[in-house]
Amino acid sequence: MRDCSFELEPATITALIGPNGAGKTTVFNLISGFIAPSSGSIVFRGQRIDGLAPHRIFDRGLIRTFQIPRQFQSMSVIENLMIVPSNPGGENFWSAWLFPKRIAAKEEATFRRAEELLDFVKLSHLRDQPASDLSGGQKKLLELARTLLADPQMVMLDEPGAGINPALMHELMGHVESLRRERGITFLLVEHNMELVTESCDRAIVMNEGMVLVDGRPADVVSRPEVLDAYLGSKRVAD
């Protein structure tokens, strides 16, 4: 990475695009704490987060998903949601012994919220099925529901449209748009599907060779000569 710098406006949907090897996944790993930067800074809601562990960044409301959804395959769909809260209190022996009613109330509230989110992503009919039974698109919807249970301020989606059919892709992005509009959640997504980018995103940041190449409205960005050069150049090397 070199001279890679950008800011995101709250409650917007921004796409991070570029040819393979451009540095998109590295940016995601840096922001989410999976890689520590050797220089520069990463600021989230006015506070530096560079160097923080991933779970500390998660606790601040910045959450990422992965290109391949990471569910517990043998657990049911709703059980996959119930494990999201990092420490509801029941894990502490003394809390469980001294305040059992309080712990039970928290677990009941989490269960109700999980049911609401399954209804939101239209997976309620599969709540008791093992996660391994879900299709690729359904697993991405479940992963979106898991991020929402943590009440995020910002969500980073890693290729949400990859490997799912167009109907589920539009359904997923419809949920993203309503969350941006109704709850003010900020979204940053890595995506190769240009139809998804131009239809669903407010802004596109194009990366190439570890730096920002172009930044602007998706419809304008994708037709820029330098962007086409970056993609075609990458293709020529691959060929």
Q: Please state the domain extents for the chain.
A: 13-69+135-238
Contact 158, 64 (CB under 8 A): yes
- 87, HSE (Cβ side, Cα atoms, 13 Å): 9
Q: Above 60 in pLDDT, residue 69? A: yes
pLDDT tens-place string over residues 184-236: 999 999 998 888 999 999 999 999 989 999 999 999 998 888 888 887 664 43
Position 32 scores a pLDDT of 94
Query: Is the backbone of residue 157 left (phi > 0), alpha (psi -120 to 50) or beta?
Result: beta
Average pLDDT for 26-35: 94
Confidence of residue 90 (pLDDT cuts 50, 70, 90): very low
Contact 95, 177 (CB under 8 A): no
Q: Above 50 in pLDDT, residue 239? A: no
Tokens of 204: 């596109």
Give Cβ neighbours of residue 101 (< 8 Å, ≥ 6 apart).
none
The helix (run of H) or strand (run of E) holding residue 228 is helix 225-238
Contact 156, 189 (CB under 8 A): yes
CA–CA separation, 92 vs 90, rounded Å?
Answer: 5
The helix (run of H) or strand (run of E) holding residue 207 is strand 203-208
Prediction pTM value: 0.83
Mean pLDDT estimate for the chain: 85
CATH class of 13-69+135-238: alpha beta
Tokens of 193: 């599907």
Position 66 scores a pLDDT of 77
pLDDT tens-place string over residues 113-170: 889 999 999 999 999 999 999 988 898 899 889 888 888 999 999 988 887 888 888 8
Q: Above 80 in pLDDT, residue 101? A: no
Position 223 scores a pLDDT of 84
Give Cβ neighbours of residue 219 (< 8 Å, ≥ 6 apart).
198
